Amino acid sequence: MSESDFKREKIIDAARERFSHYGYPKTTIAELADDCAMSPGNIYRFFKGKIDIAVEIARREALSAVEVIEAVLECPVRSSRQRLEEVVFADLRYTFHLLENRPKTLELAQIVVSDRPQFQIESLRRERRVFQRILHEGQASGEFFIDNVAATTIALHAATTKYRYAQLFTNQTLSELERELAHVMTVIMRGLMSAQDDKPVAETIIPPEGTNTMDGAS
C-alpha cells in the first residue's frame, strides 16, 4: 500500500469510527483531521467533502452485503429455488443485523441515498446481478418457467426491496419480516414454477439461521 493509499484508508477508518459513535451530522472535517494527525487541508486532498467520505464507507458496506449473498451461490447441492430463498433471507438478516448493531449506519445510509441517488442505483444493479444469475440457472435447468429473465429480475428485485436494510422502510421486528417474506416468496415461487400433480407449489419455509455464512453482522 502506498503512503497515499495508507492516508486515505486512515481517513476512512477515522470517519467510520466517528460516524458510528457520534453520527454523520455531528462529525466535522476538523475532528477527522485531528484523529488522523493531519491538517484539514490534507483531508481535502483525498476527498472533496465529508459526504464523499460517507459515500465511500456506504459503498464498501454495500459491496460487503453483496459479497455475503454471493456466497450462497457457491453452496453445493442447492436447487435454484433454494438458492433464491436463501439469498433473500440471508440478505434480510445480514442487513437487518447491520443496522441493528450499528444504529448510526441507518442515519448514514439515509443521508447518502438522499444526497447521492446514483449510489443507490449502482447498489441495485449489483444486487440484481445475483438474482439474474439464479433465474438464468433455474430457467436453463427447467426448474423455473421464465420468458424474460431480465424483466423477471427487475420484478423480483422490486418485490423484495423492503427486506434489504428493512429499517429504512419499517419498524417491524426481524421475525415479523421473516414471516412476511416467506409469504412473498411463496407467491413468487408459484409464479416461477409449475404445479406438480395438480398440487400448488409448496409454501416457502423460513430457513434457520446458520444454514449459510451470511447470518448477521457483528
Q: What is the pLDDT of residues 49-98, one digit of tens each?
A: 999 999 999 999 888 888 888 888 887 778 999 999 999 999 999 999 98
Cell of 126: 449489483
Task: State which of 31, 47, 63 marks the end of a domain.
Answer: 47
Q: Of 9, 30, 47, which one is at a domain's C-terminal end?
A: 47
pLDDT at position 4 is 92
Neighbours of 150 (CB within 10 A): 12
**Domains in the chain, number:** 2
One domain, residues 90 and 115: yes
Q: Check if the beta carbon of residue 184 is closer than 8 Å to that of residue 159.
A: yes
Strand partners, 196: 199
pLDDT 10s digits, 92-105: 999 999 889 888 88
Residues 98, 175 within the same domain: yes
Q: Do 87 and 193 reside in the same domain of the chain?
A: yes
Per residue in 176-217, pLDDT (tens digit) is: 999 999 999 999 999 999 988 788 999 999 998 865 544 444
Alpha helices in 142-171 (DSSP H): 149-160
- 66: domain CATH number? 1.10.357.10
In angstroms, the CA 197 to CA 1 distance is 61
Q: Which three cell numbers stand for residue 74?
A: 457457491
Using CA of residue 176, residue 178, residue 184, residue 186, what is the dihedral sign?
Answer: negative
- What pLDDT is stored for residue 211 in this prediction? 56
> Phi/psi class of residue 120: alpha, beta or left (left: φ > 0; alpha: ψ in -120 to 50)?
alpha
Q: Are 194 and 138 in contact (CB under 8 A)?
A: no
Q: Which domain holds residue 29?
A: 1-47
In degrees, to the nearest 5, what angle opens at C-alpha 109 toward C-alphas 104 and 115?
125
Distance from C-alpha of 81 to C-alpha of 69, rounded to nearest angstrom: 15
Between CA 212 and CA 10 the distance in angstroms is 32
pTM of the predicted model, to two decimals? 0.83
Give mean pLDDT, residues 11-36: 95
**Cβ 99 vs Cβ 106: under 8 Å:** yes
Give yes or no: residues 27 and 68 share one domain: no
DSSP H helices, 74-162, are 80-101, 103-115, 117-141, 149-160
